[in-house]
Amino acid sequence: MRVVCSIAGSDSSAGAGIQADLKATSQFYACYCATVITAVTAQNTLGVQDAHQLPTSIVRAQIESVFSDLNVRVVKTGMLGDSEMINTVADELQERQPPKIVVDPVMISKTGFPLLADDAVETFKARIVPLATLITPNTHEAERLTGISVHSIDDAKRAGQALLDLGAEAALVKGGHLEESPGTDVLVTPDETELFEREWIETKHTHGTGCSYASAIAARMAYPSEWDLSLCIDSAKAWLTEAIRYGQNIGHGVGPTQPFHSQEFGGWRD
């Protein structure tokens, strides 16, 4: 089994956060997801109603429990909340040196609830971004981290390069909100820029897509070394496209994606 550890917040409606990470990674062959919960949120398809950050001591204890027993190949980070939590997680990751780290810079919910304190953005840039094997911001997150307005493919390329300048090894700027070519994701590495395009599906049921996408990439990155970053992203995007296609119309708002669309085939293998 290939172990991914998700360090993120909990979603009571199970559409995003830790719950989405567990569901996404389980759809990839021989991948196991351990979890470190940083916060508990009260949320549903209508939005986030409340959030409570856990004490950093219990977060450190969770990380110790996971890493002292399991052979973690990839860490995926999600909601970190504030500077104290960011520093705690960064310290632990620097000490434990996991082979790969996927950073999903969770900052705000789809309905506008803040998930990262305003005064923690600079801490995030200084402590977490330089640890990233891959960082996966959407256009709004890329703008907030870089100060670059992202409306086009060229804007996404510039923002991706700015994230590399902050220390990330690679940046995937997700294009779900691009005015030009919506749904096209832009990967920027020191060697090249690559576009990932799939069918654009018109649906409102997209709750948890960012968490699920980053987790699917992390699951693929846990595979043997011949799976390079481009292949990992392409495979994860193919899986996510179908998860969005079969998004679940539950509740009265934005429903979650359907991560189990491939379950009848024994999991997503290609």
Type of residue numbered 229 = L
Type of residue numbered 30 = A
DSSP-derived secondary structure letter, 54: P
78, 81, 210, 255: the active-site residue: 210
| 31 flagged as catalytic | no
| 56 flagged as catalytic | no
209, 237, 247, 255: the active-site residue: 209
DSSP-derived secondary structure letter, 148: -
211, 237, 247, 255: the active-site residue: 211
| 211 flagged as catalytic | yes
Burial pattern 239-267, b for ≥16 Cβ within 10 A else e, equals bbbbbbeebbeeeeebbbbbbebbeeeee
133, 136, 206, 257: the active-site residue: 206
133, 174, 237, 247: the active-site residue: 174
| 210 flagged as catalytic | yes
Neighbours of 205 (CB within 10 A): 24
H runs (alpha helix) in 26-172: 56-69, 83-96, 121-127, 139-146, 153-165
Neighbours of 32 (CB within 10 A): 18
**Catalytic positions, written as ranges:** 174, 206, 208-211
